[in-house]
Amino acid sequence: MATDASPKYRTPDFHPEISVNPSKTKETTIHDGLEFWQFMISGSIAGSVEHMAMYPVDTLKTRMQVIGASRPLHPAGVRQAFSSVLKLEGPAGFYRGIAAMGLGAGPAHAVYFSVYELCKEFFSGGVPNNSMAHAVSGVFSTVASDAVITPMDMVKQRLQLKSSPYKGVADCVKRVLVEEGIGAFYASYRTTVIMNAPFQAVHFATYEAVKRALMEFDPNSGSDESLVVHATAGAAAGALAATLTTPLDVVKTQLQCQVRTVSNVNFCQF
């Protein structure tokens, strides 16, 4: 029996680096059951999949926003936009410029989640569920990620429009850089940040409120990890946040699609 009991008293020998190497504990910090690098990669993949899956809808949104500003008396509806793209360009028209989104979404979401986690750890002061720390961290992460995705988002939107003069992502980047300068890639950056900051605030606040309401409505669920709860709360939060920030999104689209040369005057026609 003595030989069986002896290993039980050797626990002080386990993981001695915890007391002598604080930086080691930071490297192995766990976030929601995942290590930091896994959390960042998961968020990057999820963001890329989200943008790719909704890209046809994003194409319709971009065209409707442009035509609505150029012809305010005859705004285009979803059916008109859909029929126009399908008839004149075919199904491939819905995916024009998707490569730009693929190049920008992954890095942008990686930056978003990495900055968010670092800021949350810094501002929370060791206090879990610190709402203010989460909000401030969300603002910092939005500013950083928007700086990464804004140039590719501009390229994407210019490629999405009808009669785009660009052959592809590389051609668009090259011509904009030569004809308009690097500032054209960030023409909408401030508007994008002003739009996304309240979007994230409304989104997360609504998400948590709806999730709590659903849990109270169904107290027998016993956990807030239900897929139905997450999906319903996420849908409600996204819809409300998008509704409140759509005017700024229209401004952003106009800034990114504006053309400074006379030869491209028809570029924004639907």
Largest distance between two CA atoms of the chain: 92
Domains and CATH numbers, the chain: 34-182 (1.50.40.10), 185-258 (no CATH)
Q: What is the mean pLDDT of residues 114-132?
A: 78
DSSP characters over 37-64: HHHHHHHHHHHHHHHHHTHHHHHHHHHH
pLDDT (tens digit, 9 = 90+) per residue, 162-214?
878 898 999 999 999 999 999 999 999 999 999 988 888 788 778 878 887 88
CB distance 99 to 160 below 8 Å: no
Whether pLDDT at 15 is above 70? no
Whether pLDDT at 216 is above 90? no
First to last CA, the chain: 84
Please state, in angstroms and rounded to a whole number, the distance separating the CA atoms of residues 76 and 140: 36
Whether pLDDT at 28 is above 70? no
Predicted local distance difference test score (pLDDT) of residue 155? 94
pLDDT (tens digit, 9 = 90+) per residue, 43-95?
788 888 888 899 999 999 988 888 755 555 456 678 888 888 888 889 998 99
CB distance 104 to 149 below 8 Å: yes
Whether pLDDT at 109 is above 50? yes
- The conformation of residue 184, written as its DSSP 8-state character, comes to G
- The conformation of residue 140, written as its DSSP 8-state character, comes to H
